[in-house]
Structure 1
Amino acid sequence: MLNAERGSLRSRSAATISGLTLRQIASVLPPEQPWGLWLSRQIIARIMDTFGPSLAGTRVDRIDVTTSAGRRVVGEWVYGAGVRRPPTDGAVYFIHGSGFALCSPRTHRRLTSWLSRLTGLPVFSVDYRLAPRHRFPTAADDVRAGWHWLTDDLRVAPEKTVIAGDSAGGHLAVDLLLQPDVAHPAGAVLLSPVKDLTFELAKQREQLRRDPAIRSRDAARLLGLYCAGVEPVHPRLRHDVAGGRALPPTLIHAGGAEMLAADAIALAQDIRTAGAPCELKIWPDQVHVFQALPRLAPEAAPAMREIAAFIAEALRVDAVGQAAG
């Protein structure tokens, strides 16, 4: 659904400033060049640290293990302040985004620490390998290995988990959930998910409103680092959500100012067509994954409360904790 009201003055101002700065930077940094990709990673990491710092009292346990199936899994357990429950009591499996090439569990620690604090659950953030050094389907395979380590080796019951992902992490989450031999979690949370890797949907949205952070052609160049040499109609890139396996109950959030709002709307429709319940909310005037940037977007706090409430309902437990600004 699309709210009728406007976004806050702070978030609208942030979108305007982003259009004058970040959007212009993204248009001139060549992701195909090592120096361009390195600089892009540094800029995004600095933005995430500045406007979405990790919450005080967060505990992080680094993980680097070999699974019973012989696969390496790297990531981190994130425990919000006061969270002491073991993963076997319930957990969130988090898949970070940013084009399969830019980010890490470290850059997304505000989101994961906030999720943990609000839900009272530990969050496992998988550190999948990045493009261009590791191309398709490496990230998807790493995400699958992390899920099987969680559910098979640690014996965390799938029905006691929720999978969450943002941006390209949303695409990876859907890929995992569509696999016929993957046990489904109790629910899924997708923040500004990428659905169409050709960015045709995003281009149509751009004709209505310019994305303040990046142009569709620049985003396509970035994602091309992961998908190079693979036809865009590959079933693990162009997901048949409407005609495939029904997903678990899903919550989708996207920003009204971003071009991927079109992907969120189309994905929600496909999930419902396949017979699964899906809640969709487009937050007016918000930028891409605004939930990770609470210092820019006051709307991040109520959005995170909605996410925590959805997770609590999916797991049939009471949400705990208070939203932090």
Structure 2
Amino acid sequence: MNDGVPVRGSLRARSAIAVSSMMLRPITGAIPPDRAWGVWASRQLIARLMGTFGRSLAGTRVEQVNSVLPDGRRVIGEWVYGPHIPTGVSRNTSAAIYYVHGSGFTMCSPRTHRRLTSWLSSLTGLPVFCVDYRLAPRYRFPTAADDVRAAWDWLPHASGLPPERIVIAGDSAGGHLAVDMLLQPEVADKPPAGLVLFSPLIDLTFELCAARELQRPDPAVRAAAAARVVALYHVGVDPTHHRLKLDVAGGPPLPRALIQAGGAEMLEADARQLAADIRAAGGDCELQVWPDQVHVFQALPRISPEAPKAMAHVSQFIAVSLSAAGATASRAS
């Protein structure tokens, strides 16, 4: 064991890898992302998988949000309250979590990710706001990133909480969107208490994933197929654009971060690179690579017995981050 991370995945997790390699990987490779029916099929597939293996907790309550900022930007999303968590963000709310979902900028929604958000809420005792950003291919770069930023600008006013009482979390492409936002000067000057990322996507060229694939193929999707899906978001834009090729190592230090990735997924390479870049910029980052786990395994507890253990780490990290940020704010005042 290393910091509670097992040296080998469970039999159920390893079996899931074998089944996914034989059944899911061929399907995802055959779906054409550049066709309208291909996008529809991909969305249906991922929604069915998330619903089957990661249903939201019984007793979860949801409040829909559709708000307009004074400058005209619209914020759409939902507040998620796990079982026994009081509903309604009020002056009695001590902190909150801002969640940015993933799936290649083209798929998923707050609804597909309610298992993760309701679980986060239940474990931490905090409300979770999940932004419903607009998806490619209908909405291209930088629409999703701008929606994520608009929700962040809205959140402190809506919740009554300063940034240091909010933790940002996200998965996959949501990790890219969260980091892009945190590198923006206005956000970097007033950072959140912490950052939690599940299997973050950072390299939109997929060169890191392609190199990783030569060592061990991802059981769910080929790097080339994933790259075609993500390209629907940034088609026609120079991939070296500073909001696509993120300069984490040369940017302002990010808030203290916890990154978790599966040892069987190709985005393990992105997770390792991001952790190294955060540290190079002077940030504090804990990286956990869970052996024999698939992409965002935390959202799939029915096939990953390790998911609760990983989420326990996340809950502890959030509590420590909020405590440390509170102490820093007290000293500053």
For Structure 1 versus Structure 2, the TM-score category normalised by the shorter chain is: over 0.9
- Letter aligned with residue 117 of structure 2: T
SS in 2 for 1:146: helix
**Aligned mate of 1:99, from 100, 104, 118:** 104
SS in 2 for 1:11: helix
**Residues 206 and 227 of structure 2 are in contact (CA less than 8 Å); yes or no, is this contact kept in structure 1?**
yes
Q: What's the CA shift for 1:89?
A: 2.0
- The separation in 2 between residues aligned to 1:106 and 1:201, in whole angstroms, is 30
Name structure 2 gaps, 5 residues minimum: 325-333
Tell whether 2:7 aligns with 1:11: no
Please name the residue that 1:66 is paired with: 68
**Is residue 67–residue 153 contact of structure 1 (8 Å, CA) maintained in 2?**
no
318, 324, 327: which one pairs with 1:311? 318
The Cα offsets for residues 175-219 of structure 1, whole Å up to 9 and x where unpaired, read as: 010000012100000100001000001111111111000000000
Q: Root-mean-square deviation (CA), in Å?
A: 1.3
* Paired AA for residue 103 in structure 1: C
Determine if contact 1:163/1:187 at 8 Å carries over to the other structure: yes
- What corresponds to 2:154 in structure 1? 149
CA contact (8 A) 1:68 1:153 kept: no
Q: Secondary structure at the match of 1:134?
A: coil
Per the alignment, residue 321 of structure 1 pairs with: none
- Identify the residue that residue 320 of structure 1 maps to in structure 2: none
Q: Distance in 1 between matches of 2:222 and 2:50?
A: 20
How far residue 67 of structure 1 moved from its aligned partner, in angstroms, is 1.4
| Equivalent AA in structure 1 for residue 174 of structure 2 | G
- Which of 185, 189, 205 lines up with 1:198 in the alignment? 205
Q: Is the 8 A contact 1:197 1:223 kept in 2?
A: yes
Residue 323 of structure 1 corresponds to which residue in structure 2? none
**1:132 paired to 2:132:** no
For residues 279 and 162 of structure 2, what CA distance do their matches in structure 1 show?
25
Match of 2:82 among 69, 77, 80: 80
For residues 137-158 of structure 1, what are the alpha-carbon distances to aligned partners after superposition, in whole Å with 9 as ceiling and x for unaligned?
0000000000000024543211
Corresponding residue to 2:245 among 238, 246, 258: 238
Relative to structure 1, the CA distance from residue 4 to residue 81 in structure 2 (aligned partners, 3 Å threshold; closer, same or farther) is closer
Structure 1 residues 153 and 56 mapped into 2: Cα distance closer, same or farther (>3 Å)? closer
Unpaired segments ≥5 residues, structure 1? 318-325
- 2:83 is matched by which residue type in structure 1? A
- Specify which of 52, 55, 63 is matched with residue 54 of structure 2: 52
Deviation at 1:72, TM superposition (A): 0.5
CA offset digits 1:260-308 (Å, max 9, x no partner): 0000000000000000100000000100000000001011000000000
In the other structure, the counterpart of 2:33 is 31
SS at match of 1:271: helix
TM-score (norm 1): 0.95
Amino acid at match of 2:215: L
CA contact (8 A) 1:60 1:76 kept: yes
Alignment check: 8 A CA contact 2:168 2:194 kept = yes
Residue identity opposite 1:57 in structure 2 = G
- Residues 153-162 or 8-17, more deviating: 153-162
Q: Does 1:264 align with 2:256?
A: no
Deviates more, 1:81-90 or 1:10-19: 81-90
The alignment partner of 1:32 has SS state of coil
C-alpha separation in 1, matches of 2:138 and 2:82:
32
Aligned to 1:299: 306
Which of 156, 163, 186 aligns to 1:158? It is: 163
Aligned mates of 1:207, 1:29 — CA distance in 2: 22
Mapped contact 1:171–1:194 kept (Cα < 8 A):
yes
d(CA) in 1 for partners of 2:314 and 2:125? 13
Tell me, yes or no, if the aligned pair for 2:6 and 2:290 is still in contact at 8 Å. no
TM-score normalised according to structure 2 size: 0.93
* Alignment partner, residue 249 of structure 1: 256
Q: Secondary structure at the match of 1:254?
A: strand
Q: Aligned to 1:75, what secondary structure does the other structure show?
A: strand
- 1:4 Cα deviation from its structure 2 partner: 6.4
Q: What is the distance in 1 between the residues matched to 2:25 and 2:71? A: 43
Aligned residues: 317
Q: Which amino acid aligns with 1:187?
A: G
Aligned counterparts of 1:15 and 1:107: Cα–Cα separation in 2: 21
